């Protein structure tokens, strides 16, 4: 199996952390999306990473589908609970964490447009999603060590990858100060090699 990824993609990081936690060997193929020869469109019509290329040549995307596939490949370190309710709850955390990332990416793209094309209302709308999402995640986590049922799961991985990406792209956000439960959770995540070894580099 091969994974098309970049070092800075929070969605690809989610897959990399899952593969490491479950000790699944995946050949990592780093791509540069801005490169005109980037192969991603051949494997995902949406032109997005991550993409998992299976041994028979079939491809899987997006990150939520890939992590489910990997979690079912081996019972080692189950990251999606077997219990239906707990599983739905984990997926809800993942949807919220990924959604915060989606909004933060959209705000960043808008803010990079030339000043005469930039729409501040779009940025404010997207940043509203980021702030409400972070507040909800912080409140729901509260004093718990892990997001769902005091068990390490995909919910924790998705949350950590989103926060790590905010650290990279939104240095002024000061989320640690505003959301202490998230800060504590992030420190806990950093104790895991799967997470600390995949921190996105400055570039």
CB atoms within 10 A of CB 80: 19
Beta-strand (E) ranges in the chain?
2-5, 27-30, 51-53, 59-60
Question: Applying CB under 6 A, does 9 fall inside the site for ligand GSH?
Answer: yes
What b-and-e string marks burial along 136-154, b requiring 16 or more CB atoms within 10 Å of the CB? ebbebbeeeebbbeeebbb
Among 3, 4, 5, 11, binds ligand GSH (CB under 6 A): 11
Question: In whole angstroms, how close is the CB of 105 to ligand GSH at the nearest point?
Answer: 7
Shortest spacing between CB 167 and ligand GSH, in angstroms: 15
Binding track, positions 22-51, relative to ligand GSH; x by CB under 6 A: -----------x-------------xxxx-
Report which of 177, 173, 13, 152 is spatially closest to residue 107, judged by C-alpha positions: 173
Q: Does 164 bind ligand GSH (CB under 6 A)?
A: no
- Closest distance of CB 8 from ligand GSH, Å: 7
**Cis ω for the linkage preceding 133 (within 30 of 0):** no
Q: Which residues bind ligand GSH (CB under 6 A)?
A: 9, 11, 33, 47-50, 62-64, 98
């Amino acid at each position: 199996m091969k994974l098309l990824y970049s070092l800075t993609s929070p969605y690809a990081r989610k897959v990399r952390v899952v593969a490491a936690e479950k000790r699944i060997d995946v050949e990592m193929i780093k791509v540069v999306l801005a490169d005109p020869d980037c192969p991603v469109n051949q494997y995902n019509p949406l032109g997005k990473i991550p993409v998992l290329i299976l041994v028979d040549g079939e491809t899987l995307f997006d990150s939520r589908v890939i992590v489910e596939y990997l979690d079912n490949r081996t019972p080692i370190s189950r990251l999606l609970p077997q219990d239906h309710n707990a599983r739905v709850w984990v997926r809800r955390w993942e949807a919220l964490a990924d959604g915060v990332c989606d909004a933060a990416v959209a705000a960043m793209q808008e803010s990079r447009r030339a000043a005469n094309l930039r729409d501040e209302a779009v940025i404010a709308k997207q940043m509203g999603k980021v702030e409400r999402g972070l507040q909800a995640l912080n409140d729901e986590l509260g004093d718990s060590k892990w997001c769902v049922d005091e068990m390490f799961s995909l919910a924790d991985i998705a949350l950590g990858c989103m926060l790590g990406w905010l650290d990279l792209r939104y240095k002024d956000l000061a989320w640690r100060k505003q959301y202490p439960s998230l800060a504590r959770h992030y420190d806990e995540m950093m104790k895991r090699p799967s997470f600390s070894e995949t921190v996105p580099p400055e570039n």
